[in-house]
């Protein structure tokens, strides 16, 4: 690791004070004179033909300014991946789930908007609906989209090597299945948007999103506004975790209503609408076979996935590819076969959520490894270490592990949890389990096919030279990207963190694909570093001309500039600076030229000093179909050990402790890295033990609230030991890579392996409520009696 002044520390977040005092503004905190309030009419029926929509009564209600349906919005199809645009802003021929959007209203106040919704009359012809993914695949099942017969939204078939032959040659082949449940991301801030359409034709959206860039493009397309006239501003965002990675009907409705009325239009989803919009974790069914040799060498993996996609595609194409591609590591395999199916059902659409596509299949795979180790009489850690990939290894599906501290992570948790003294030595009812995982540090390709840069950054110095302003379209959503960029800029410029300001989340500032696929640190980080380097070279050039010294003799660091390692002769610059800033409180002092004075000189010579940086990954991945999904310039990896107590009479599970190690390359900000690790564990624990979005027989969500849909509270989380493992990632800025999603990968299987250790019962369906475990224990006991 290098000798850093700003990086690799525990820096308090730069937005901390604003957030701690309530000054930080989120989308719902914005207010503008003349604002109208909007509401969306959503289908109460899961599957129906729309025969007629009558908005006349709603339009006549005093206080209503506009009512829009597909007639006004048009039928432009949109979605996430252009290959599967299957949504229109408002349903026109059919509704496909309870919650499908039909119309939107703008009124002078919220109550009037809600009342207007109740006056819109929709005549439906109810159609048979299908809610189960396996039912939806059967012949004769209700057809949800005409274009996709058999409700088959996407199919993936990939094979590397001859898997059947490899399995046949193995000493031992073990099978396993796994079923998770549909999740909700349960971010605490519901989606909210304020749209302002100006007479000039410009639309600005202040919106709670992870991806201002993609929202800008989608809104421009669906509302038929030139993209240059759409600006998306992301204020502070109260969590995203994936579902805020795409343009929403809320944003498009606000935009359309603002365009139609000429007023600013605001709308926020209720908590129930957040559940209805969904776009969160799919339900996955996994079927897997792992073939190994007697000595524990892994040889072949066969993996089948069925995904319940809900009524639309959202991110689903990428999801169904990820369920296969993210099993290629971190173990060496000779062959791997994957068959994935994403199926439409009459439920809200599923999309991306933390650990996109990989979490459920990782849970199945890591259980399978434990099952295999048990059969072979091996310690689960030894079994993994025997097969572990190292830096420089390539997965069977051609993902390049340019740095991989997987082994170091495993060793760190083995020691950190005292595994050797616990595994196999705990009393009945107590268990210990482990698992590993890895994840991309930014998707290798954008969502739409393009040669676009993934991140550009502009750094602009203040005219006095005292402040570096970083302008970026990147999305601070709580993960700490603003602080990360400030730290990278400060380190590169050789100034203190206090002398950097970050302006982010605005499509006017720069191009940035946003906060998804754990990409900000690596990609925006590269662009920030490059922009700062350009600034430094400009200043060095003007200094060298002014003082007649070679450029190579000039170095920056600690807020000062050195010439051949010494102070040099800069008297005239200092005198000038002090003269120019007479009466200011903080004249430059000390024996060295300050960065501020040097930057001022550059300004006097060339005007405002601006540096720009850009990044896009090199061409990555193999040449097979779907090779793009799963590629990344770098991969982060994690290993976790979980300890549980199980009440064998009731099935009640208590997670007693978690030990987590993550390789994030260079930890830019250690405090933020730990924050991501601990947050990931909490989300994984929730999904494993409590979380399930439930539906009634007519496709209505029965638990659309944070009271009924349970996420972990402070009382559910044990003390977590977080161990940062640092590798030097050659493709990352200063050697950095991801932590935001990789850290969730091992959590579920580590808990499940611990439950098995405690009870001898293997659970293959989530969530592991005490009821589910109790029934499994009972069945196991009955089986033992027979």
Binding site residues, other proteins, CB under 8 A: 10, 12-13, 15-26, 28-29, 31, 185-190, 236-239, 241, 268, 270-271, 477-480, 671-672, 674-675, 678-683, 705-707, 711-715, 717, 719-720
Q: Provide the 3-class DSSP secondary structure of residue 80.
A: coil
Min. distance of Cβ 479 from other proteins in angstroms? 7
Q: What does the alpha-carbon distance between residue 767 and residue 693 come to, in Å, rounded to a whole number? A: 11
- By beta-carbon proximity to other proteins, the closer residue of 195 and 475 is 475
Reading phi first (left if > 0) and then psi (alpha if -120 to 50, else beta), residue 104 is in beta
Residue 233: which H helix or E strand, with range? Answer: strand 230-233
Output DSSP code: residue 595. H
Quick one: which of 634, 628, 636, 726 has its CA closest to 402? 634
Output DSSP code: residue 282. P
- By beta-carbon proximity to other proteins, the closer residue of 698 and 721 is 721
Measured at the alpha carbon of residue 502, what is the angle toward residues 496 and 507, in degrees to the nearest 5? Answer: 155
- By beta-carbon proximity to other proteins, the closer residue of 327 and 751 is 751
- By beta-carbon proximity to other proteins, the closer residue of 480 and 611 is 480
Q: What does the alpha-carbon distance between residue 667 and residue 7 come to, in Å, rounded to a whole number? A: 8
Min. distance of Cβ 327 from other proteins in angstroms? 26
Min. distance of Cβ 655 from other proteins in angstroms? 12
Min. distance of Cβ 776 from other proteins in angstroms? 27
- By beta-carbon proximity to other proteins, the closer residue of 320 and 655 is 655
For CA atoms 653, 657, 663, 667, give the dihedral sign. Answer: positive
Min. distance of Cβ 675 from other proteins in angstroms? 5
Q: What does the alpha-carbon distance between residue 500 and residue 629 come to, in Å, rounded to a whole number? A: 35
Q: Provide the 3-class DSSP secondary structure of residue 195.
A: strand
Quick one: which of 144, 138, 516, 137 has its CA closest to 357? 516
Structure-token pair, residue 107: 């009124």
Output DSSP code: residue 524. I
Quick one: which of 735, 751, 687, 733 has its CA closest to 180? 687
Min. distance of Cβ 309 from other proteins in angstroms? 24
Structure-token pair, residue 80: 């996430």
Min. distance of Cβ 708 from other proteins in angstroms? 8
- By beta-carbon proximity to other proteins, the closer residue of 401 and 477 is 477
Determine contact, residues 227/217, Cβ cutoff 8 Å: yes
Min. distance of Cβ 235 from other proteins in angstroms? 11
- By beta-carbon proximity to other proteins, the closer residue of 199 and 707 is 707
- By beta-carbon proximity to other proteins, the closer residue of 268 and 472 is 268
Min. distance of Cβ 250 from other proteins in angstroms? 15
Measured at the alpha carbon of residue 533, what is the angle toward residues 531 and 537, in degrees to the nearest 5? Answer: 120
Residues in Cβ contact with 504 at an 8 Å cutoff, skipping those fewer than 6 apart: 234, 470, 471, 472, 473, 474, 475, 476, 481, 482, 485
Residue 779: which H helix or E strand, with range? Answer: helix 770-785
Quick one: which of 108, 106, 247, 264 has its CA closest to 199? 264
- By beta-carbon proximity to other proteins, the closer residue of 324 and 351 is 351
Min. distance of Cβ 232 from other proteins in angstroms? 19
- By beta-carbon proximity to other proteins, the closer residue of 163 and 192 is 192
Give DSSP secondary structure letters for 679-696.
HHHHHHHHHHHT----B-
Structure-token pair, residue 305: 């996935």
Min. distance of Cβ 155 from other proteins in angstroms? 33
- By beta-carbon proximity to other proteins, the closer residue of 156 and 237 is 237
């Amino acid at each position: 690791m290098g000798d850093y002044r700003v990086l690799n520390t525990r820096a308090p977040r730069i937005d901390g004070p604003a957030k701690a005092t309530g000054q930080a503004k989120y989308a719902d905190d914005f207010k503008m004179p003349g604002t109208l309030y909007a509401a969306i009419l959503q289908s109460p029926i899961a599957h129906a033909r729309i025969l007629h929509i009558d908005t006349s009564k709603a339009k006549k209600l005093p206080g209503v300014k506009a009512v829009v349906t597909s007639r006004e919005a048009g039928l432009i199809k949109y979605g996430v991946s252009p290959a599967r645009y299957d949504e229109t802003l408002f349903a026109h021929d059919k509704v496909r789930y309870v919650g499908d959007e039909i119309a939107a209203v703008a009124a002078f106040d919220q109550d009037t908007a809600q009342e207007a919704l109740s006056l819109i009359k929709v005549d439906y012809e109810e159609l048979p609906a299908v809610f189960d993914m396996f039912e939806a695949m059967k012949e004769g099942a209700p057809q949800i989209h005409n274009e996709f017969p058999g409700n088959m939204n996407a199919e993936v078939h990939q094979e590397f090597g001859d898997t059947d032959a490899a399995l046949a040659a193995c000493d031992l082949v073990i099978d396993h299945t796994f079923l998770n449940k549909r999740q909700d991301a349960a971010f605490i801030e519901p989606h909210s948007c304020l749209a302002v359409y100006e007479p000039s034709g410009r639309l600005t959206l202040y919106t709670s999103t992870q991806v201002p860039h993609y929202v800008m493009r989608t809104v421009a397309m669906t509302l038929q506004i030139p993209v240059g006239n759409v600006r998306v501003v992301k204020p502070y965002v109260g969590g995203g975790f994936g579902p805020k990675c795409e343009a929403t009907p809320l944003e498009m409705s606000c935009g359309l209503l603002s365009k139609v009325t000429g007023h600013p239009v605001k709308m926020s989803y209720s908590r129930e609408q957040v559940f209805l919009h969904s776009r969160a974790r799919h339900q996955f069914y996994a079927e897997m076979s792992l073939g190994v040799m007697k000595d524990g060498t892994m040889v072949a993996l066969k993996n089948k996935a069925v995904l319940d996609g809900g009524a639309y595609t959202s991110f689903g194409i990428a999801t169904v590819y990820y369920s296969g591609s993210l099993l290629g590591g971190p173990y060496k395999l000779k062959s791997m076969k994957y068959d994935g199916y994403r199926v439409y059902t009459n439920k809200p659409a599923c999309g991306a959520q933390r650990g996109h596509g990989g979490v459920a299949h990782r849970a199945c795979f890591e259980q399978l490894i434990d099952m295999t180790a048990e059969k072979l009489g091996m310690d689960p850690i030894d079994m993994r270490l025997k097969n572990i990939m190292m830096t420089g290894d390539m997965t069977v599906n051609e993902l390049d592990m340019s740095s991989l501290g997987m082994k170091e992570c495993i060793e760190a948790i083995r020691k950190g949890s005292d595994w050797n003294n616990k595994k196999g030595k705990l009393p009945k009812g107590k268990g210990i389990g482990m698992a590993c995982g890895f994840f991309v540090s930014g998707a290798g390709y954008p969502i739409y096919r393009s040669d676009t840069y993934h991140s550009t950054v502009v750094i602009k110095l203040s005219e006095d030279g005292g402040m570096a302003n970083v302008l970026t379209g990147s999305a601070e959503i709580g993960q700490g990207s603003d602080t990360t960029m400030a730290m990278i800029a400060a380190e590169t410029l050789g100034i203190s963190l206090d002398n950097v300001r970050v302006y982010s989340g605005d499509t006017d500032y720069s191009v940035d694909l946003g906060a998804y696929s754990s990409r900000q640190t690596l990609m925006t980080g590269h662009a920030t570093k490059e922009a700062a380097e350009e600034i430094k070279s400009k200043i060095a050039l003007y200094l060298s001309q002014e003082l007649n010294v070679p450029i190579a003799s000039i170095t920056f660091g600690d807020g000062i500039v050195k010439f051949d390692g010494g102070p040099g002769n800069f008297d005239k610059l200092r005198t000038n600076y002090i003269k120019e800033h007479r009466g200011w409180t903080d004249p430059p002092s000390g024996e060295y030229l300050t960065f501020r004075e040097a930057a001022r000189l550059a300004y006097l010579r060339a005007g405002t000093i601006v540096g720009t940086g850009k990044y896009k990954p090199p061409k990555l991945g193999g040449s097979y179909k779907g090779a793009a999904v799963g590629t990344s310039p770098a991969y982060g990896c994690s290993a976790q050990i979980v300890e549980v107590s199980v009440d064998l009479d009731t099935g009640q599970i208590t997670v007693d402790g978690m030990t987590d190690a993550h390789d994030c390359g260079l930890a830019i900000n250690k405090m933020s890295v730990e924050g991501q690790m601990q947050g990931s564990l909490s989300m994984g624990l929730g999904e494993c033990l409590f979380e399930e979005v439930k539906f009634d027989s007519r496709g209505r969500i029965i638990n659309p609230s944070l009271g009924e849909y349970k996420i972990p509270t402070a009382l559910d989380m044990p003390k977590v030991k977080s161990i940062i493992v640092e590798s030097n990632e050659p493709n990352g800025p200063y050697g950095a890579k991801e932590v935001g999603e990789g850290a969730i990968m091992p959590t579920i299987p580590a808990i499940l392996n611990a439950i098995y250790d405690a009870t001898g019962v293997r659970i293959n369906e989530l969530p592991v409520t005490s009821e589910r475990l109790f029934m499994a224990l009972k069945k196991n006991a009955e089986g033992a009696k027979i």
